[in-house]
Structures are given as C-alpha cells and as structure tokens.
Structure 1
Amino acid sequence: MFYGWRLTNDLDSLIELQKGIIEFDFLNKTQKLNNEISEIDFNMFYEISKWFFDDLKKYKIETKLIKEAKLNVEFGVEVILDKKKSGTIRNIKLNLILTSWILTDEKKYQSKKEYKTE
C-alpha cells in the first residue's frame, strides 16, 4: 500500500530527504526517520494505519493479540530536471525496499518487497 497512488502526498518530503529509512509503528502510533522520531508527519502513516485497524475490526481480530505491527521503508529518490524527450520539467526515480511485519504470540508474519518507478 505504501507505494500506491497516495504516495504522491508524501513525494515532496521524500524528494527533499533524497534517501533514508522510515519506520511506522502502528500500535505505538510513531513515525521514525533514520531511527529518530520523525519531524515530518507522513500522510502514508495515516492511510496505512486506518487500513490496518479497519482490517482488524473487519476480521474481528482483537488489537491486544498483536504485539508489533511495523513497516520499514528504505528509500532513495533521484530527480532528473528538464527531461526534454518526455516534455516534463522533472522526472523522479524512486527506489523503495519495504519490509512489514506483524508479531503475535504465535507467529511473525513478514513481507519484503522492492519497488522501483520512474
């Protein structure tokens, strides 16, 4: 979900940062950037958080059963200005490595995906 169309709401922040690691902790409601509490309030945190808690409710899963629910995003952004062939003012290359996990008493559910776009 992080790299969906709603990422555009955070794209300017990612461009300004150029690279780093974002960590969303949905149970503790924290956002970290490079292992520090983030001064940037990422819109995607709220999008994913809403989806996560709505899904728990939908499938009747009690929040207390979840020990951890986190998303880690390693990102790199490159901006190419004045790309004449496409007629755009800027072209953006975005590289993401996304690792998410949910931990319960019984199991750790984990997913890792890489996403590249231009």
Structure 2
Amino acid sequence: MRRKRLNHYADVVCKMFVGWRMGDDMEALSDLPDGTISINLLTGDAVHSEVGLLDLHIAKEIQAWLQQQGAKEGVDIEKLKSATLEVDVDTNKVATNKKKVLLFSFSCRSNLKTDTATYQGALTDEYHWYTRIIT
C-alpha cells in the first residue's frame, strides 16, 4: 500500500466531514443529541453513540471518494483491514435557540489500518454555524 496516499486520505476524510458537502446532513444532525458518530469508511455505514444507525449522505460520499481515489491512484482500498472516522459532535458550547440556529463543534479522528501500519488524521472545527430550516 502507498504510505503517502493513505496518510493523505486519513487527513482528507476529516476535512470532508466538517465541510465538503456536509450541508445535506445538517438538518438531520440538528435533531440528534450530542455524541459520537462512527463511520465505517469501507461500507458507508454511520452509527450515533446515543441514537444508533444513521442515514448520512456524507458517509456514502466519503466512502465513494475513498474508493474513487484509491482506484485512480493505484491504492487497493479493499486491502485495508479497517477504515473508520469518529466524530464527536457538540452543540452546547454556545447557547442558542436550537430551534433556529446551532453552532456545531466537530472533533474528527480517522484511522486507516493495513496489515503493517495505521494511518491517522484529526481535525477540530469549532465554528460551523447552521441556520435551521423553518417549515
């Protein structure tokens, strides 16, 4: 496996969760209690520590991106033993009217494991504001 590419992938998946195409899932995340979201990057499955199984668009997006990049760059993603992204979600750092607006604090940790090494990434985003959709 290509070490530099796997290091890159570990960093990018964290960045993707906190910003890239995240808008599709913000309303769903707004309804969740604070907790940890665990994503299996090989299957696209997401589980919340308090709620259980989630249907998150971003989980499938990251899975597809990882598969596509691996194929494009000659990295056999199928040979990974595991690939996970854990995200601590906290909406209580700043008091808001949660029916209208939230401040998300994301703390992401990724792990891509091969037979011989683990590649890790981490990112914290403290300023991700979201204005709720009023229906």
More helix by share: 2
Stretches of 4+ aligned residues off by more than 3 angstroms: none
Q: Secondary structure at the match of 1:2?
A: helix
Q: Which has the higher contact order (CA 8 A, sep 6+)?
A: 2
What whole-Å deviation, never above 9, does each CA across 1:20-70 have from its counterpart, x for those lacking one? 1111112244221117741x3001101111111011101111233211111
| 1:70/1:35 CA distance change after superposition, 3 Å | farther
How far off is 1:7 after superposition? Answer: 1.2
Whether 1:12 and 2:22 are equivalent positions in the alignment is no
Matches within 5 A, 1:5-44: 5-34=20-49, 37-38=52-53, 40-44=54-58
CA distance in 1 between counterparts of 2:71 and 2:50 reads 30
- Contact 2:32–2:51 (CA<8 Å) still a contact in 1? no
| 1:58/1:5 CA distance change after superposition, 3 Å | closer
CA distance in 1 between counterparts of 2:83 and 2:50 reads 16
- Contact 1:14–1:77 (CA<8 Å) still a contact in 2? no
More strand by share: 1
Question: TM-score, length-normalised on structure 2?
Answer: 0.72
CA distance in 2 between counterparts of 1:27 and 1:37 reads 18
Whether 1:98 and 2:98 are equivalent positions in the alignment is no
**Number of residue pairs the alignment of both structures matches:** 111
Unpaired runs of 5+ residues, structure 1, are: 82-88
Whether 1:50 and 2:95 are equivalent positions in the alignment is no
| 1:36/1:17 CA distance change after superposition, 3 Å | closer
**Aligned AA for 1:107?**
A
Report sequence identity in percent. 23
Q: Secondary structure at the match of 1:64?
A: helix
How far off is 1:101 after superposition? Answer: 1.0
Q: What's 1:85 paired with?
A: none
Question: TM-score, length-normalised on structure 1?
Answer: 0.81
